[in-house]
Amino acid sequence: MMKRSQSFTSLALLLLCQVSVACAEAVSNCCNALSQEASLAGKVYFPNTSNYRGLVESIWSASAALPPWCFVQPESAEDTAVVIQTLVSNECSFGILSGGHGDFPASNSIKEGVTIDFGRMNQTTYDPVEKIASIGPGSSWQPVYETLEPYGVTVTGGRAGGVGVAGFTTGGGNSFHSTSHGWACDNAKNFQVVLANGTIVDANADEHNDLWQALKGGSGNFGLVTRFDMYVIEFPDPTKPNIWGGIAQYELSAADDLTDAYVDFVENNHLDKNSSTMLYWVYTH
Ligand SMILES: Cc1cc2nc3c(=O)[nH]c(=O)nc-3n(C[C@H](O)[C@H](O)[C@H](O)COP(=O)(O)OP(=O)(O)OC[C@H]3O[C@@H](n4cnc5c(N)ncnc54)[C@H](O)[C@@H]3O)c2cc1C
Ligand SMILES: *[C@@H]1O[C@H](CO)[C@@H](O)[C@H](O)[C@H]1NC(C)=O
Ligand SMILES: *[C@@H]1O[C@H](CO)[C@@H](O)[C@H](O)[C@H]1NC(C)=O
Ligand SMILES: *[C@@H]1O[C@H](CO)[C@@H](O)[C@H](O)[C@H]1NC(C)=O
Ligand SMILES: *[C@@H]1O[C@H](CO)[C@@H](O)[C@H](O)[C@H]1NC(C)=O
């Protein structure tokens, strides 16, 4: 019964938002409530700021770059807890923006609501004793690789350096190293997660095991991940942190042969687990 009346309220809010007075009220409930939180001072951006415009433009796909009522940028798990408690208690719809490489509308930002942007939480640290890399959700992969390289290690991250850590890892994550090391999510020893009620938990093999499993592909549906603790891959020679690769382009007429070659590659991939390939069809200009 409770659930039904709550979803009715959000539906009503959505419909009423076409009417500007009701919409202004929702904006002020959600965004003003966030700005009034002392710990979030200076971290809420309205459309009249350059930070706001910069964040909309940071989204990779124009289809996904929806303009929210405001952005909020938590700086820590504690900030994130305040954000989610405020949004929940005011019944605000929200989007979750990390690397911004989701490419369909509502994959990260939101139009009638607040977009939580993790850009301030972009640090990577490495523990050489435990061999664990701790990565902030707002980082993209390139700075992660650059931070880890001097230690002679890397992680099962994205193939394009601009892709975000959080969307990639919680969505699965197919890496150059996936034949030998599995999906990116398989390499997460621990997720630090902020739950809907603001509680901060660790999800791993021993604690909140169900959440740990659900987040391996669960994307933003189970909580806000505020830190990824990942197993690393050691380079055989730490002074040579190299991978070899390249791109070849063919005419469309080669499609059948390429498909056969790709199937052959995949069937034999176990013979050389260090190798990886991807085949895709594109229009070029
Ligand atoms: C150029 C390009 C190259 C790509 N290459 C690869 C590749 O090699 N392999 C591959 O597997 N995929 C690849 N992708 C797909 C990419 O992994 C997904 O689009 C992924 O969702 C991007 O993550 P993000 O953090 O950048 O995205 P965002 O758009 O910021 O987030 C996407 C979704 O992730 C969830 N999310 C974000 N942050 C959090 C958080 N802190 N806690 C919980 N959930 C969160 C939310 O549900 C959000 O809607 C590529 C995409 C592009 C555009
Ligand atoms: C920007 O918009 C917000 C919310 O509407 C408002 O409180 C603030 O005063 C505005 N700032 C400027 C510089 O106009
Ligand atoms: C983190 O973000 C800040 C602000 O955008 C930027 O200056 C810094 O270079 C980023 N750090 C990393 C490691 O990406
Ligand atoms: C928050 O939610 C979790 C999961 O439902 C629950 O275990 C925990 O007790 C809740 N915490 C508070 C303070 O309500
Ligand atoms: C794959 O790389 C590992 C080191 O990471 C090495 O030990 C192994 O010999 C390589 N396999 C092949 C088939 O080259």
Ligand nearest to the CA of 167: 1
Q: Supply the DSSP symbol for 130.
A: T
Judged against a pLDDT cut of 80, whether residue 285 lies above it is answered with: no
74 lines ligand 1 (CB under 6 A): no
Q: Which of 1-10, 125-134, 238-247 has the lowest mean pLDDT?
A: 1-10
Distance 273 CA to ligand 5 centre (A): 8
Q: Which of 272, 274, 275, 276 to mutate to test the pocket of ligand 5 (most atoms within 8 A of CB)?
A: 274
139 lines ligand 3 (CB under 6 A): yes
Assigned token pair, 132: 């664990």
Q: What pLDDT score does 16 carry?
A: 52
pTM of the model: 0.92
- Decide: 74 and 80 in contact? Cβ < 8 Å: yes
Question: Quick one: pLDDT band at residue 25, thresholds 50, 70, 90?
Answer: confident
Residue nearest atom 13 of ligand 5, based on CA coordinates: 272
Please report, rounded to a whole number, the percentage of residues in the chain having pLDDT higher than 70: 92
What is the rounded average pLDDT for all residues in the chain? 92
Q: What pLDDT score does 11 carry?
A: 44
Q: Compute the distance between CA of residue 81 and CA of residue 196 in angstroms, rounded to an integer.
A: 8
Query: Where exactly are the structural domains of the chain?
Result: 4-117, 124-234
Q: What pLDDT score does 7 carry?
A: 42
Q: Compute the distance between CA of residue 97 and CA of residue 64 in angstroms, rounded to an integer.
A: 10
**What's the residue count for the chain?**
285
CATH of domain 4-117: 3.30.43.10
Ligand nearest to the CA of 242: 5
- Nearest 5°: CA angle at 249, between 243 and 252? 145
Judged against a pLDDT cut of 50, whether residue 2 lies above it is answered with: no
Q: Determine the topology of domain 124-234 in CATH.
A: 3.30.465
Q: Which of 36, 48, 52, 69 to mutate to test the pocket of ligand 2 (most atoms within 8 A of CB)?
A: 48
